[in-house]
Chain A
Amino acid sequence: MKGSVIKYDKDDIDTDVILPGPYLKIHDYGELAKHAMEGLDKDFHKRVKPGDFIVAGRNFGCGSSREHAPIALSYSGIKAVLALSFARIFYRNAVDGAFLLPIEIEENAYKDISDSDFLEIDISKNEIKNLTKNKTYKMKPFPELVGKIISAGGLFNYKP
């Protein structure tokens, strides 16, 4: 999995800025995608390309339980969010619907990765390669069941 980085040097990116409340009435996922990150970055929609990754700080996705948040990111092309930590409901929603990969990274990777860097993520090795900076970082492995749900393509495809 390869893609470019859109970096937000910020903790506590909440679901109200990832997908503001007024858009919770929209059922068309493509339409939702147009408003992804609108509360924080009005230009996100113009900038994001299929396959991109978001890199952010602690407690990404805090706040509301709206699954619209990972859906909007996913349908705008985001394949993974790399953050120092995640709020638990966002993390679950991302995994359950197989919308995107919530990847926990370490402080050194967070500091090192810059906006627009090109990364290659290898989940089987728990490894992130920064192809721009020619560096390799570790990612925190997914818990066993999370890994299985991800491989199955979401909660409803997963058979215990």
Chain B
Amino acid sequence: MTKTLFEKIWNSHLIDEQDGRSLLYIDRHLVHEVTSPQAFDGLRMNKRKVRRPDLTFATMDHNVPTNNRSLPIVDQTSAMQIQALERNCKEFGIQLFDINSPNQGIVHVIGPELGITLPGTTIVCGDSHTSTQGAFGAFAFGIGTSDVEHVLATQCIWMEKPNTFEIKIEGKRKNPHAVTAKDIILSIIREIGTGGGVGCVFEYKGEVVSEFSMEQRMTICNMSIEGGARAGLVAPDEKTFQYLKGRRYIPKNYDEYVEYWKENLKTDSGAKFDKSFTICTDKIVPQVSWGTNPAMTVDVTGSVPFAEEYAKGNPEEEKAANRALQYMGLKPGTPITDITVDRVFIGSCTNSRLEDLIEASTIVKGKKVSPKVRAMIVPGSQNVKKQAEEIGLDKIFKDAGFEWRESGCSMCLGMNPDILATGERCASTSNRNFEGRQGTGGRTHLVSPVMAAAASIYGHFVDVREMDLN
């Protein structure tokens, strides 16, 4: 019988089935400081051990300040959470990439970078953007703290089998430097809605996905959760195998694995998906979110919509749109390119990898950040930062007036010192524009790294297709 890639990974990890749910084996568990303390407390309370410390990896990313790391952490509650992770990893024998480690970084950036993320595996982490790692053909998904404790104790998890949802990305982009993976995933969410993928795992397919670099695949898989899906997958190919080759934690007999992956990790032709959606990229232009969820997004060539126009006759959508317009301080009909920004944030597990920074630097090189804008670059990991510095990106950004920071989640989620002030408007390469996400009363516009970089120079959104991107 023909099977999808997801079904193959699922079947190969299935331990038991009962009462309509399945017990699934977990190959890799990534842990960070915010969603793990109660899980470790639970283990201690019940005198349990971590079943597979060798398959568990930890780092601190959510809370960490991204400025000078030689200074103590000012916020005491953050410092305590970070120290708790250090203690817990030591006590339970878990490999930790601590705040001073050259391998520290956003958990979903370092997983792939260190070769912890492998094709065909199951990966969990107490973070919804674990979906990022599906770019390698892994079933990678976010879990809450109770499940973190359950996986630490047992290395498996109860699940209801998700449905499969095929997303075909077809067509030919005229300018792939200006119309990026970020613009494509925002366009997909715009079409299917924030709940479109609830109960599903996406598999991204089609010629555009094959052309995508691993970084671009990670960007689209990352935002699968914003379309409601627990996970997103891309079948591994030569690019995947080349990306991982030589990385620190890949298996010793890597080439044998590659042979197995080539043979087994693809959706059989004729395999049936529960749902399917096709997007053609020919006409996609750079995207800018205007509202308070990622589906509230328009073309950069468009205007802030009127609530009734956005709602298409749905009274609840109209109410939501009116609330979003008010929160965002936007007047319907305003051309997107007339919207000025106070802050620019290039970072987060969506867009903080080396390629993202290289793309942004092509816009910034030789120019100056608008005097009205405060702009920052937060590399996804210390390794990304180092590689960027080796090719001189730090100099390009700093010369232009950007702040060049240490790695972490930073301004994506407003729980470390990098936050927006009330009313501040930000062009952000992150993944969520929810109310208060980047700080109470902060206003987030989701964009690609090149769009964010361009906004930093001009002080308002511009259509990057009109700029020289070479």
Contact = CB atoms under 8 A, between A and B. Distances in A.
A89 B316 contact: no
Contacts, number: 141
B142 interface: yes
Contacts of A154: 146
B20 A17 contact: no
B37 A27 contact: yes
Interface residues of B, number: 53
Contacts of A65: 35, 126-128, 142-144
Main secondary structure of the interface of A (DSSP, over half): loop
B60 to A, nearest CB: 12
B202 to A, nearest CB: 13
A88 B415 contact: no
Contacts of A14: 293, 432, 434
Contacts of A97: 144-146
Nearest to A143: B20
B150 A58 contact: no
Interface stretch (B86-94, B278-286, B435-443): B435-443
Contacts of B127: 64-65
B18 A145 contact: yes
Given A9-B319, A25-B81, A64-B128, A92 B144 contact: yes
A106 to B, nearest CB: 15
Contacts of B16: 160
A129 interface: no
A158 B122 CA distance: 24
Nearest to A20: B436
A92 B195 contact: no
A67 interface: yes
A85 B198 contact: yes
A93 B228 contact: no
A11 B195 contact: yes
Q: How large is the interface on A (under 10, 10 to 19, 20 to 34, 35 or more residues)?
A: 35 or more
A16 B437 CA distance: 6
B359 to A, nearest CB: 27
Contacts of B158: 145, 155
A21 interface: yes
B245 to A, nearest CB: 31
**For B81, B146, B319, B432, which residue has the most chain A Cβ atoms within 10 angstroms?**
B146
B146 A89 contact: no
A144 B19 contact: yes
Contacts of B437: 16, 21
B128 A12 contact: no
Nearest first, the 4 closest Cβ-Cβ pairs linking A and B are: A93-B144, A96-B146, A67-B144, A59-B195
Interface of A: 9-12, 14, 16-17, 20-22, 24-27, 39-40, 57-59, 62-67, 85, 87-89, 92-93, 96-97, 143-145, 148, 154-156, 160
14 contacts: A11-B316, A16-B434, A20-B440, A21-B413, A62-B194, A62-B228, A64-B432, A65-B127, A67-B35, A85-B195, A89-B230, A92-B147, A96-B144, A145-B160
Interface of B: 16, 18-21, 34-35, 37-38, 42, 46, 62-63, 75, 77-78, 80-81, 126-128, 142-147, 149-150, 158, 160, 194-195, 198-199, 225, 228, 230, 293, 316-317, 319-320, 323, 413-415, 432, 434-437, 440
